Amino acid sequence: MVKPIGVCIGEPSTREVEFISSGAIQLGDYVELEYEGYRVLGFVKEIRRINRSLTEDLEPEDVEHLRKLTDKNSYFKGKISILGDVDRGMFIPRVPPEPGTDIFLASGKTLQKVFGKDDGKKIHIGHLLTREDVDVFIDIDSIVSRHLAILAVTGGGKSNTVSVILEGMLDKYGTILVFDMHGEYVNFDYSRDGKSCVRRIDLELNPTRLSYHEFRLFANVDDSAYIQDRYLRRAFKIAVEEIQSGQISASDFWGRLLGELQNYRNDEAYKEDWKSITGVINKVEDMQEFYGGLFNLLQTPIVDQIEFGKLNVIDLSHVDEKIADIVVSHVLRNILEKRKAHVREEPGGLEFPVFMILEEAHILASSTINTKSRYWISRIAREGRKFGLGLCLVTQRPKALDSNALSQANNMIILRLVEPGDQRHVQQASESLSSDLVEQLPSLNVGEALIMGKMIPVPALVKIKLAKAKRSGNDISAVDEWKKYRKGVPDSKKKLKDFLELGDTEF
């Protein structure tokens, strides 16, 4: 018979129980209690160690004295969250346990039952922080349909967590689209049947496939420049319509657009606006010069380049935040339209669900700046589950992330988080995150995380495993790199000798 490790005291409620224990019990441990015919799982959310003899008001000499007498006389006191009956779908009994009820450390068997195994739809993410023998799995369908936020300080282990999830999804022929802000995932080395599963999508946009609003952003024509806006909109529409109807070929786009604007510029009827029209012509010319390499009039839309069963990566590391915003919003808009078309059985739809990773989510869905992507991220966060579109928002600055987008992420993986403002923001967005758990966040080590949401049966503190696939962006050891460089470089005296062809002459 297993020995109890503690006992319920005080005034237990259906959700929370106070306990005392003489044996070592860790924060984050899982315990079992039997009462009213239920076998209930609990989570140690608060723990203190007490020695009644050593009270606060003692003099140092007295403490020294008493310490010898009362050595090993301390006990533990803490609080347990009731999670529910393991055999009855985590049902929480409506009657609290009686004070005096025994508390047992949860058996490996019980925990394995709770945290499951791969039933063909799960990802092995790591093991319980307090129990290395208990593997933890997260449910892929719940992640895609209810979205995911991965939050941590810089270097907390966000990208490694993303990599573990990517591997788990690719194992199941998942289709993933990564907006790669740092060029970290282009070299992700995951293969299936000897073939790489990474599809790098070139960052080339076809201007004729942009919405007018997206096009206008590149031209730097904002809302307040309404005269410029009026002429540019008209010329853009004419050029695009003529391409679509086959009157002109796609390669004539820029010539047709500028030609149309020149026509307005030469038309007496628009004399009053000539200055504005000249301004907009200059802006279109500047746009061609600045973003020449980004535009390709023959390119198929990015969404049509997404390949099934692969990690599709759009490398955004070479463009600034403004361009990243336009590209991300353009792709999100298209992907939502195409998935809707598929569900409605219209032609040209995107035939499979896609999970999308947005690193630096606080830039794209900022709480303060009204970016274009923010709108589409919120739309997909709200509507995506009906169309098989999942979002993974990754950020090291949770409080700068739009709270609307964050609260739509039902699933959360929170690694080390030290800033109180960040912690508050996360807590406000998630009703199930208790203050006790928030208090744990600063003390987590790299790769240790609180995982919660629909993807996991009960919240858990987890040690996330290291991803197998390599990617760029891991921490660099400056000392190693200097050493490597030093070894590879001939010393300067020798270089000088070689240069002067002086052979072994002493200097």
Output the smallest distance, CB 446 to ligand ATP, in A. 5
Distances (CA, A) of 59 to 49, 50, 72: 20, 18, 20
Q: Please, are residues 253 and 297 in contact by the beta-carbon 8 Å criterion?
A: yes
Closer of 97 and 447 to ligand ATP (Cβ) = 447
Does position 228 interact with Mg ion (CB under 5 A)? The reply is no
Output the smallest distance, CB 171 to ligand ATP, in A. 18
89 CB burial (10 A radius; 0-12, 13-18, 19+): exposed
81 binds, among ligand ATP, Mg ion, none (CB under 5 to 8 A by kind): none
Closer of 152 and 336 to ligand ATP (Cβ) = 152
Residues in CB range of 141: below 8 A, 6 or more apart: 121
186 binds, among Mg ion, ligand ATP, none (CB under 5 to 8 A by kind): none
Q: What angle do CA 23, 27, 30 make, to 5 degrees?
A: 80
Output the smallest distance, CB 198 to Mg ion, in A. 17
Q: Please, are residues 358 and 322 in contact by the beta-carbon 8 Å criterion?
A: no
Output the smallest distance, CB 505 to ligand ATP, in A. 48
Closer of 151 and 336 to ligand ATP (Cβ) = 151
Q: Which of 159, 228, 371, 411 contacts Mg ion by CB under 5 A?
A: 159
Per-residue three-class SS string for 24-70: CCCCCCEEEEEECCEEEEEEEEEEEEECCCCCCCCCHHHHHHHHHHH
- Please provide the DSSP assignment of 428-472 as one string: HH-TT--HHHHHHGGGPPTTEEEEESTTSSS-EEEEEPPPSS--S
Closer of 114 and 151 to ligand ATP (Cβ) = 151
490 CB burial (10 A radius; 0-12, 13-18, 19+): exposed
How far is 169 from 501, CA to CA, in rounded Å? 60
How far is 55 from 76, CA to CA, in rounded Å? 15
Give the residue closest to Mg ion by C-beta.
159
Output the smallest distance, CB 60 to ligand ATP, in A. 42
* Closest alpha carbon to 417 in 155, 136, 164: 155
96 binds, among ligand ATP, Mg ion, none (CB under 5 to 8 A by kind): none
> Which range, of 134-142, 151-159, 274-282, 366-374, touches Mg ion by CB under 5 A?
151-159
Closer of 303 and 364 to ligand ATP (Cβ) = 364
155 binds, among ligand ATP, Mg ion, none (CB under 5 to 8 A by kind): ligand ATP
Pairing of strands 6-9, 102-105: antiparallel
370 binds, among ligand ATP, Mg ion, none (CB under 5 to 8 A by kind): none
Closer of 243 and 460 to ligand ATP (Cβ) = 460
Output the smallest distance, CB 164 to ligand ATP, in A. 8
Closer of 177 and 261 to Mg ion (Cβ) = 177
> Which range, of 87-95, 96-104, 156-164, 416-424, touches Mg ion by CB under 5 A?
156-164
Burial annotation 172-196 (CB, 10 A radius, 16+ → b, else e): eebbbbbbbbeebbbebebeeeeee
152 binds, among ligand ATP, Mg ion, none (CB under 5 to 8 A by kind): ligand ATP
Distances (CA, A) of 159 to 349, 373, 454: 31, 21, 21
Q: Please, are residues 311 and 179 in contact by the beta-carbon 8 Å criterion?
A: no
Closer of 157 and 174 to ligand ATP (Cβ) = 157
Closer of 150 and 201 to ligand ATP (Cβ) = 150
31 binds, among ligand ATP, Mg ion, none (CB under 5 to 8 A by kind): none
116 binds, among Mg ion, ligand ATP, none (CB under 5 to 8 A by kind): none
Closer of 147 and 158 to ligand ATP (Cβ) = 158
Output the smallest distance, CB 395 to Mg ion, in A. 10
Longest dimension (CA), the chain: 104
24 binds, among ligand ATP, Mg ion, none (CB under 5 to 8 A by kind): none
Output the smallest distance, CB 320 to ligand ATP, in A. 19
How far is 315 from 134, CA to CA, in rounded Å? 37
Output the smallest distance, CB 436 to ligand ATP, in A. 23
Residues lying near ligand ATP in the complex (CB under 6 A) = 152, 154-160, 396, 446-447, 464, 466, 473-475
207 binds, among ligand ATP, Mg ion, none (CB under 5 to 8 A by kind): none
Closer of 158 and 385 to Mg ion (Cβ) = 158
Cα dihedral 427/430/431/434 (nearest 10): -40
Give the residue closest to ligand ATP by C-beta.
447
Distances (CA, A) of 62 to 57, 68, 70, 139, 224: 10, 10, 12, 56, 76
Q: Please, are residues 102 and 20 in contact by the beta-carbon 8 Å criterion?
A: no
Residue ranges in contact with Mg ion by CB under 5 A: 158-159
